[in-house]
Amino acid sequence: MSLSDFLSNATSKWLRDDGPDSDIVISSRVRIARNLTNRAFPMLATERDRQTLLDEVAAAVKHAGIQELGSFELLKMGDLTDVEKQVLVEKHLISPALLESPGGAVILRNDEEISVMVNEEDHLRLQCLLPGYQLDGAYQMVDRLDDALEETLDFSFDETKGYLTACPTNVGTGMRASVMMHLPALVLTGQIGRILSAVTHVGLAVRGIYGEGTDALGNLFQISNQITLGQSEEEIIGNLHGVARQIVDHERGARQYLLRDGKEQIEDRVCRSFGILAYARQIDSKEAMQRLSDVRLGIDLGIIKGVSANILKELMVATQPGFLQKYYGHEMSPAMRDVKRASLMRERLRMNDGE
Amino acid sequence: MLCEQCGERPATVHFTEIVQGQKSEYHLCEACAREKGQAAYEAMIGAFSVNQLLSGLLHLDPTATPRSDTPAPRCESCGLTFQQFAQVGRFGCPDCYQAFSRELGTLLKRVQSSDQHTGKIPRRRGGVIGARRELNRLRQEMHMRVVEERFEDAAQLRDRIRYLEQQIESQA
């Protein structure tokens, strides 16, 4: 199979499509936790309890209200190979914890924008993951799915504590909303530390994605709400929205500054990274992420032309161990992965040369 | 740099977590990172839980320390003891919230912004709850109008409140 066929068949819609502000916001995700009444949470549930829950949820998904939302498929972790499970984790559709969880399953919509984990920490975790800045859209989708499931399932709800969850840090709305942002110019201009520490003071959390704080790998940052009780879903999304908008504006400003006051440096940096990705024979994931971030910035600034802007998120996922193994069809050592990763990068960059 | 978990293999996975201004860094080898898969995943997509922080908070709470002269609190529905909850940071079933409400004390208020849910109510099962919440909102509004001496508005609100009260009663 060619790489381009592989990527379009194996990746999710959020990895292939653009969205609003997708020059900076990679993806938007909303996840809510729901539990059924009168039974133990998965941690204490027996094998039979877990199976019963799975059967009930499978029946609920067949209900008309759900079918209106699209075509869904239930995948039991026990029926999947290790690589298939790994790839689901790398696509951010399930958590690694689900792999360890007996009776674990995921219900996926065919475009993979919606997923429901069953028997993870909570009975159900509903997720919507969209490309670009679409927090409102992601929440509306999860909200509709929640209503449709609630038509046939009884969710644990308390008037004062809200939706009851296995962990008290999720109780209330049970909601975690987040945006993944690519912020290379704020990192290069040294403003990132100040901005991120301000964010953590307004009830939001920031995480570098496999990076070190202000020097996050691939300059990718995840901003999410910490509080689930005492704020409504709309307030949580509104807070996140306000902060995300400001960060987007700052990043855009910093990019203009780089173009104006350091054009040669930034062009040199971007083109060097492009050269390395186009010719390297082995590359570790850390360097790959940094180079991809540079190339993506070069595309956004118009320095590099003829390469899809989606290359960053696509390759950030496709060069993970599970994907590499799936594409090359065999298991490999970390050293071998570095070789194959470089090879896949070269192939991907050539793919766009003809366009 | 060696992996801070096993101290044997080189650290190849690095991640930083900043939660409410608290920064923690992790430097792990691939094997230990996989073991810590959940933590790494959470770093990547946003944690759903902060249970270490949670058990820390519980141990600090004097009302939460179990006393030896009284039987350890236990949830009747699932059998989880409060001690076990403090260790794992997870409840066993929905009834645990009620069973441990005294021991939990102000915990919820400290990890969250308040201890009162103001968000979504289940559409099918939450009808009466929604009506009660609306009732409280209307009562507050009515008091405001009275204070402002806008008595006609207040009277209208009073009529709506009466109507809602009757509705709730008929459903109960």
For the stretch B96-135, pLDDT in tens is 999 998 888 777 887 787 888 989 999 888 777 878 888 8
At A246 the pLDDT is 92
Considering CB atoms only, which of A167, A206, A227 is closest to B48? A167
At A141 the pLDDT is 96
At A195 the pLDDT is 85
B79 touches chain A (CB under 8 A): yes
Element (H, E) at A225: strand A220-225
What DSSP designation does A302 have?
T
pLDDT tens readout for residues A23-67: 999 999 999 999 999 999 999 999 999 999 999 999 999 988 888
What CA–CA distance (Å, rounded) separates A221 from A86?
A: 22
At B54 the pLDDT is 58
At B103 the pLDDT is 80
Q: Which residue of B has its CA nearest to A164?
A: B94
A201: chain B residues, CB-CB within 8 Å: 20-21
What CA–CA distance (Å, rounded) separates A147 from B122?
A: 7
- Residues B63-89: what's their mean pLDDT? 76
A154: chain B residues, CB-CB within 8 Å: 125
Residues 6 or more apart in contact with residue A56 via CB below 8 angstroms: A36, A153
pTM for the structure as a whole: 0.81
What CA–CA distance (Å, rounded) separates A118 from A60?
A: 12
At A352 the pLDDT is 57
Pull the structure tokens for residue B121: 């109510």
Q: CB distance B120–A173 less than 8 Å?
A: yes
What CA–CA distance (Å, rounded) separates B16 from B24?
A: 6
Beta-ladder partners of A223: A179, A206
Residue B17 pLDDT level (bands cut at 50, 70, 90): low
- Residues B38-65: what's their mean pLDDT? 47
Shortest alpha-carbon distance between residue B126 and chain A (Å): 8
At A350 the pLDDT is 84
Asked whether residue B67 carries a pLDDT value surpassing 70, the answer given is no
A149 touches chain B (CB under 8 A): no
A176 touches chain B (CB under 8 A): yes
Residue A174 near residue A228 (C-beta atoms within 8 A): yes
Q: CB distance A206–B97 less than 8 Å?
A: no
Mean pLDDT of chain A: 90
What CA–CA distance (Å, rounded) separates B17 from A200?
A: 11
A143: chain B residues, CB-CB within 8 Å: 120
Considering CB atoms only, which of A172, A209, A211 is closest to B119? A172
Residue A133 pLDDT level (bands cut at 50, 70, 90): very high
What CA–CA distance (Å, rounded) separates A77 from A61?
A: 18
Asked whether residue B14 carries a pLDDT value surpassing 60, the answer given is yes
Helices marked H in chain A: 3-10, 13-16, 47-62, 64-67, 82-90, 96-100, 135-150, 184-188, 192-199, 233-261, 263-279, 285-300, 311-318, 321-328, 334-353
Pull the structure tokens for residue A58: 């499978």
B126: chain A residues, CB-CB within 8 Å: 157
At A235 the pLDDT is 94
Query: Above pLDDT 70, what percent of chain A?
Result: 96
- Residues A151-172: what's their mean pLDDT? 93
At A208 the pLDDT is 74
Residue A194 pLDDT level (bands cut at 50, 70, 90): confident
At B49 the pLDDT is 39
A31: chain B residues, CB-CB within 8 Å: 48
pLDDT tens readout for residues B26-35: 777 766 766 6
Residue A17 pLDDT level (bands cut at 50, 70, 90): confident
